[in-house]
Structure 1
Amino acid sequence: MELKFVDPRSLKDNPDKARRSKSSPQADALLLATIKAVGIVQPPVVAAETDGGNGFVIDDGRRRVKQAIAAGLEQIAVLVVSRAEDGGAMRSLATSITHEQLHPVDLWRAIERLVALNWTEEAIGIALAQSVRQIKKLRLLANVLPAMLDHMAKGDMPDERQLRTIAAASLDEQKEVWKAHKPSKGDPQVDWWRVAQGLAKTRMYARDASFGDELAQAYGIAWVEDLFAPADQDSRYTTDVDAFLGAQQEWMTQNLPKKGVIAEVSNYGEVKLPPKAERVYGTPKKSDHTAMYLDREGKVKTVHFRMPEAKKKARDSETAAGEDEAIVVSKPRPDVTRKGIEMIGDLRTDALHEALSRAPIEDETLLALLVLAFAGQNVRVDSGAGGDFRFGGRFGRHAAALFDAEGKFAFDTDTLRVAARGVLIDVLSCREGMSKSGVVALVAGAAIGADSFLANMGTEDFLACLSRLALEGSCTDTPVLPRARVKDTRAALVEHFKEGHFVHPAALFASGVTSLTEWLAKNAVTEVEDDDVTDVEDIGADDQMIDGDADGEFEEGYRDAAE
């Protein structure tokens, strides 16, 4: 075997070559770009002609020779070997079928190595005949957790969509998910679907945003480009869903038409129009109204609706116009989002339960609270029925504490107090949903000073639930000044309250008892007619139920909680 430098144009094709089909233009372009950038890495293999000529026949490397000519190279290095008896046919076939494509993991790592050696993404793209976008995509995939890459290199690869989700997550997030789903010795396969599911995040796309750069900066939205999306579309996105929806909401408020209203949507994604409104599907009239809302993807949608004509009465035109305008009232973003309301419910409940456990409570107050607790909308007692609402089920452990070792109903005052507090903790709740006790829990919390047990709400999670106006209002009585960007204001407040204690006014127990008067009026004690008393006394003890069926109060409360 001998290494020689020859003119590539002098080399002849081997008539016994194994690969006869044409290579793709993309593959040829890639090889040409590589030769121009770094030359021919592996010299072609040639053999001397056997028909009396003094030239060389190509045994291996025909494409390299062809692209070297296209690159304008005057000389290339070749390995000269002795001519085989079969004309090099077996050598050509063996070389062709043993070539293996570089593993994707090795390709990603190789590109990272080039970058470490001061190759720019542009230079790598030119050398590999790839777009800079494609190189960026490969570099993103190289940021997959090394432990995952090592496993992928063994042949267990996720599909493209799963790989995209994994690569888009931070290394810390990948590490936590991999810890839970990495393969065991008995099962070497990875459930990549679960790995990707654990790292998936809701994306809000810039192409769906109605707001511009100014609001994006105000809400601290930093767009990230999806390098896997088609290059001809705007693929920028953010995973800060609250910030995106807040900016959309503020844009709607700023751009609301004269006869417009910001509407909400149902659980099914349908817009909720004002009562008695009739949706207009055709061309709207000047007298029609406009409703703007956000759909499930966070896009701003617009529909038109028509209100029924008011009945003719003796009224002046100004009054009629005033009432008509009153129908359509723009609804700005609430100070606290729904998520924030739910967080307040959780924090209130924790504080209430803490106060019931530790705060000093007079015996009379304790008994009064028990009466209040069983007036809560989350309490139901069915005699003889099963489930969590039975005394024997949910409250049995508290009742059992009132018996001595011999099974006698005997207890001291301290035991009774502990049991009463336990019942109150199980019953009273401020959380949103069916377990909510309603105003009675707020009254109870205010009565025992549960406000002092509320946790610090000056956190990123809670402050992200506040509107811009409410967030800036939280700067009052603090050295923090509102910033141009909502994100910066929130970060400054989080830093300020890191060692302090912040409670939003909406979370105070007293702030939620504004509907107490209405509740008292609804549940006012009235005189009972003699006939009614007789009816009640006729009911057997085993048939008694405390569930509001007599006047429908429980059913109404149950529906409200479910909604």
Structure 2
Amino acid sequence: MHLTKVDPRALKENPDRMRQTKSTPQADALLLATIKAVGIVQPPVITPEAGGGNGYIINAGHRRVKQAIAAGLEEIEVLVYEAASDNGAMRSMIENVAFEPLNPVDQWRAIERLVALGWTEEAVGVALALPVRQIRKLRLLANVLPAMLDQMAKGDMPDERQLRTLAAASLEEQKEVWKKHKPSKSDPQVSWWSVAQGLTKTRMYARDASFGDDLAQAYGIAWVEDLFAPADEDSRYTTDVEAFLGAQQEWMANNLPKRGTIVEAGQWGEPKLPPKAERVYGKPAKSDCTAMYLNRDGKVQSVHYRMPEAKKPKKGEQPVAEGDDAPIVVNTRPDVTRKGIEMIGDLRTDALHEALARAPIEDDTLMALLVLALAARNISIQSGASDDVYGFARMDRHAVRLVDEDGKLAHHMETLRSAARSSLIDALSARENRTDSGIVARIAGAAIGADNFLPNMGTEDFLSCLSRPALEASCKDTPILPRARVKDTRAALVEHFREGH
């Protein structure tokens, strides 16, 4: 190391410099004023250019060199070090942290640079006096949306739990949530809690799974390791809730004990026992039954219950089977999950609306459909002929098209048809929510051929909602044969329907 004077304009910037985030104009102005007044107090550090060049690379002091040029200095004093094998990455990192802590984003970039040069997380932690947990936390930023990184570089950082949630989500999911919660001029701070909530996914843990690797593979479950969980516990998890619950249900069906049944869980996670069943809290008797169910965490639970004694049959009646001869009721996984039913409702509604807008409909059919629509479960009309004034159907915007400026009914047949179609679109729905029109939506769809407007339902998203029997039944009219693994059967069907079959 030696001290010398050089022209600051002849120095080259280090491509591996630690500080890549631009400094604020106020900080640059303050440094420029200081240099003009007293010069550079601490000389920048430079190293000879590697690869046979005869120039010098700035190792530390990029801002000082830049502001010295802005101040018009012809020469500045510099400290010349020998070139390091890592291009000064570790020395620059330590120097920057010692003088002014880097923002977390620049720290992450520096750590990634050191890891690329062969440093381990443990070695970086020892050199920087940081715990390995902090190193791993910063490395989560590699999975964060660039727009979020820009916000974090300003010092607006989420906490560790929120950062883990962000990093676990895909960039597409982060982009959608960021659109809703990105900062504005009136509110420059980001509510990271809201961002994390928008990206939070339910985790189903491997430690709660009763099924083995065979069912996990059959349902396409890929376990993810939680790196921040305690080291002495199984922290593997999956966010594919439907697959996890399906595998649990199949395991229960395959391992049902004698006189056992599978029941559903109630609102508070309690098992819904058969009618008149009495739960047994002590040691069960041989004649007692076992109910297996999934609690709110998706874990298999079992309770014992006792059915009342069967009444003696009257003369001429067949006795009711009891004891070991009593039938075992098995409530297996439904053929279509709740999510699948909701998807069917959405697809049917969209197809119905498309048919109402474009399909040829006779006038008498149109009027009949209108009567059906007004009788639907989701229609509530505010009327002076009834004491029930709750709810309001927004039919006025369609009716106004049929009325002239004098308030009299005056319309062309084409206008009437258009208004009727629009009214039916607003009224009829097969969605699984309060807009459900009930059976009348199905009748209306069948009358106008709404099935012809349905999209391809042979997608991964929808087929994952089907149980194994329902999925295998879908192969009936196709050349696809059921596979040993549910995932493989589903993939074959998706490929088959993708080809337009």
TM-score by length of 1: 0.64
Choose 1 or 2 for highest CA Rg: 1
Question: CA deviation digits over 1:178-221, x for unaligned, max 9?
Answer: 45434445544332212222222111111111111111111111
**May I ask how many residue pairs the two structures share in their alignment?**
407
Unaligned runs of 5+ in 2: 3-94
Give the corresponding residue for 1:487.
487
Which letter maps to 1:212? Answer: G
AA in 2 matched with 1:465: C
**Which residue of structure 2 aligns with residue 456 of structure 1?**
456
Q: Confirm or deny that 1:163 pairs with 2:163.
A: yes
Residues 92-491 of structure 1 aligned to structure 2 (within 5 Å): 105-119=105-119, 139-184=139-184, 187-314=187-314, 319-321=319-321, 328-381=328-381, 383-384=383-384, 389-390=391-392, 393-491=393-491
How many Å separate the matches in 2 of 1:173 and 1:205?
22
Q: Percent identity?
A: 74
- State the secondary structure of the residue aligned to 2:293: strand
Rounded to whole Å, the distance in 2 between the matches of 1:112 and 1:331 is 52
144-153 or 297-306, which moves further after superposition?
A: 144-153
Amino acid at match of 1:464: S
SS in 2 for 1:224: coil
Distance, in Å, in 1 between the alignment partners of 2:220 and 2:326 is 35
Change (3 A) 1:125 1:301: same
Following TM superposition, by how much is the alpha carbon of 1:339 offset from its aligned partner in structure 2, in angstroms?
Answer: 1.0
Q: Aligned pair in 2 of structure 1 residues 377, 168: CA closer, same or farther (>3 Å)?
A: closer
State the distance in 2 between where 1:250 and 1:168 align: 28
CA contact (8 A) 2:292 2:303 kept: yes
Secondary structure in structure 2 of the residue aligned to 1:225: coil
Tell me the amino acid that sits aligned with residue 439 of structure 1: I
CA–CA separation in structure 2 for the residues paired with 1:317 and 1:448: 52
Instruction: String of CA shifts for 1:251-275, please: whole Å, max 9, x gaps.
Output: 1111112222221223333322222
What is the SS of the residue equivalent to 2:421? helix
Contact 1:294 1:300 in 2 (8 A): yes
CA contact (8 A) 2:313 2:320 kept: no
| CA offset digits 1:442-494 (Å, max 9, x no partner) | 22222222211212212222111111222233234444444443233323333
Whether contact under 8 Å (2:279, 2:303) holds in the other structure is yes
**CA–CA separation in structure 1 for the residues paired with 2:371 and 2:496:** 42
Q: How much does 1:226 deviate?
A: 0.4
Alignment root-mean-square deviation, CA: 3.5
User: Partner of 1:401: helix, strand, or coil?
Assistant: helix
**Matched residue SS, 1:226:** coil
SS in structure 2 of the partner of residue 166 of structure 1: helix
For 2:195 and 2:404, the matched residues in 1 are separated by: 53
Closer, same or farther in 2 for the Cα pair 1:233/1:423, shift >3 Å? same
Summarize deviations over 1:240-298 as a string: whole Å, max 9, x none. 11111111111111111222222122333332222222222222222222221112211
Q: Distance in 2 between matches of 1:452 and 1:200?
A: 37
Report the Cα distance in structure 1 between the residues aligned to 2:168 and 2:499, rounded to whole angstroms: 33
* d(CA) in 1 for partners of 2:398, 2:100: 72
Task: Out of 159-168 and 334-343, give the one that drifted further.
Answer: 159-168
Q: Which moved more, 1:149-158 or 1:381-390?
A: 381-390
Q: Deviations over 1:336-360 (max 9, x none)?
A: 1111111111211222222222222
Q: Closer, same or farther in 2 for the Cα pair 1:476/1:186, shift >3 Å? A: same
Distance 2:274 2:413 in 1: 56
The alpha-carbon distance between structure 1 residues 407 and 193, as it changes in their structure 2 partners (threshold 3 A), is same
Unaligned runs of 5+ in 1: 3-94, 502-563
Distance of aligned partners of 1:187 and 1:438 in 2 relative to their CA distance in 1, 3 Å threshold: closer
Question: Aligned in 2, Cα 1:190/1:127: closer, same or farther, shift over 3 Å?
Answer: same
Taking a change above 3 Å as real, the CA distance of residues 400 and 141 of structure 1, as seen in their structure-2 partners, is: closer
TM-score scaled by length of structure 2: 0.71
Moved more, 200-209 or 162-171: 162-171
Is the 2:219–2:486 contact (alpha carbons within 8 Å) kept by the matching residues of 1?
Answer: yes
Q: CA 1:315–1:289 in 2, change beyond 3 Å: closer, same or farther?
A: farther
- Match of 1:194, SS state, is helix
Separation in structure 1 between the aligned mates of residue 151 and residue 383 of structure 2, nearest angstrom? 59
Aligned residues of 2:250 and 2:333 also touching (Cα < 8 A): yes
- Map Cα deviations across residues 79-105 of structure 1 (whole Å, 9 max, x no partner): xxxxxxxxxxxxxxxx9xx77777654
Conserved in 2, the CA contact under 8 Å of 1:105 and 1:142? no
Residue identity matched to 2:401: A
